[in-house]
Amino acid sequence: MKLQSMRAIRFAMGRAVVRAMRCSMGAAILCLLGTTWALGQSANPGAKPKPQLSEEAFKNVQVLRGIPVNEFMGTMGFFSASLSMNCIDCHVKESAGNWARYADDTPLKQTARRMVLMENLINRADFGGVRVVTCYTCHRGFQRPEVTPSLAEEYGPPPMVDPDRVETLPGASDSSAAAEQIIDKFIQAVGGAPQLAKLNAFAAKGTYSGFDTDFHKVPAEIFAKAPDQLTMTEHLAVGASTTTFDGREAWIASADKPVPMILLTGGDLDGARLDADLSFPALLKQDLTKLHTGFPPVTLDGHATQVVEGIAPGGTRVKLFFDKQTGLLVRQARLIDTVVGLIPLHVDYSDYRAVAGVKMPFHWTTTWVDGQSTTELTDVQPNAAVAAEKFVKPAPATSR
């Protein structure tokens, strides 16, 4: 793996850069690939199924090699968000609707490759290998970074503080009692632990809409089984898209993705587990460690919230925003790690209704760097008989 990546780096770099890197090669590989590998290996050595890597799935990957497909697609979302560009702004127009054409090179793609290597070199040379400089550090949502300070900005209204930003409070090592109390209040608000224990499973129907449906509502189904299994299917025009978490591993099989079945790793796996945990929140305190609170007050959609931050089993930082009054969860925000930077994702929950004495959100909107989507439930069957096959690795998706 290391050798392959090194070849990729040399291939993609200009000569001057190669020279600059020669002295620090081992560390440069670590910068490029470090975080995910470290996470993947520490979590469960030997027992993990091997994900398909970017260079195995795609035709023309020169720099972002040696990472799982889901993480590779995450880097594309990270680029898009950091530069406010659409996929086909860097790729050829024909790649819209034709995944194979994403392999074609364009001048902007070539520049982006050089930028990845530059990012790693800067972090290595000037910041001790800590990833403090990313595409967003310079680009801040622009295709070309600004060079000159703006007086309009300097004397204009202060920029909004993003409540999703994950902060680390000083001294937060163990879970704090205050944070655990907020989660206990949430468990109480949804019906209490005894009532939750009576909900073994549910089968739900509803609709899904997003960029991938041109915001038309399409049918969606959700199956969940306590304590932590979840599968969600959306019926897109191109074919079904299914995300499954079996209590341990997670997959997405979607006709809308470049690869018809993707094993989820890292922050995406943590996210799948978290979504399952939130369906039966009894496990929440167990799965999130280092729970802490004490963040500045945040109001979301008119709800004053209390914020708890914790760390998921794979290392992903998660913030949960609970309504101060009702105790119900109004947002989860998580930061998914990739080799180029952390991708933010949040889910906003609303329209809580009681199902067999347990309050569940019937409406949620998922927002991340590569699209926004809304799921609305119309019918939830509590304690439905859900077949175990619903939670096994899905078959690769086929396009209609």
Maximum separation of any 2 CA atoms in the chain, in Å: 66
Please classify residue 131 by burial: count the beta carbons closer than 10 Å to its beta carbon, then call 0-12 exposed, 13-18 middle and 19+ buried: buried
Q: Using the rule CB under 6 A, give the single segment among 84-92, 153-161, 224-232, 384-392 that binds ligand HEC.
A: 84-92
Asked if residue 32 binds ligand HEC (CB under 6 A), the reply is no
Among 236, 340, 347, 360, binds ligand HEC (CB under 6 A): 340
Nearest distance, CB of residue 106 and ligand HEC, angstroms: 8
User: If we measure between CA atoms, which residue out of 241, 208, 253, 246 comes closest to residue 224?
Assistant: 246
Return the number of the residue (59 or 205) whose C-beta is nearest ligand HEC.
59
> What span, in angstroms and rounded, lies between the C-alpha atoms of 145 and 161?
21
x/- track of binding to ligand HEC for residues 233-262 (CB under 6 A):
-------------------------x----
> What span, in angstroms and rounded, lies between the C-alpha atoms of 68 and 37?
10
Contact 268, 70 (CB under 8 A): yes
x/- track of binding to ligand HEC for residues 140-179 (CB under 6 A):
---xxx----------------------------------
Asked if residue 111 binds ligand HEC (CB under 6 A), the reply is yes
| Cα four-point dihedral sign 36, 261, 217, 86 | positive
Q: Using the rule CB under 6 A, give the single segment among 59-67, 159-167, 170-178, 355-363 that binds ligand HEC.
A: 59-67
User: If we measure between CA atoms, which residue out of 187, 208, 171 comes closest to residue 290?
Assistant: 171
> What span, in angstroms and rounded, lies between the C-alpha atoms of 243 and 259?
14
Contact 36, 51 (CB under 8 A): no
Q: Using the rule CB under 6 A, give the single segment among 16-24, 58-66, 193-201, 218-226 that binds ligand HEC.
A: 58-66
Binding residues vs ligand HEC (CB under 6 A) = 58-64, 76-77, 79-80, 83, 85, 87, 89-91, 99, 102-103, 108-109, 111-113, 115-116, 119, 122, 133, 135, 137-139, 143-145, 258, 340, 370
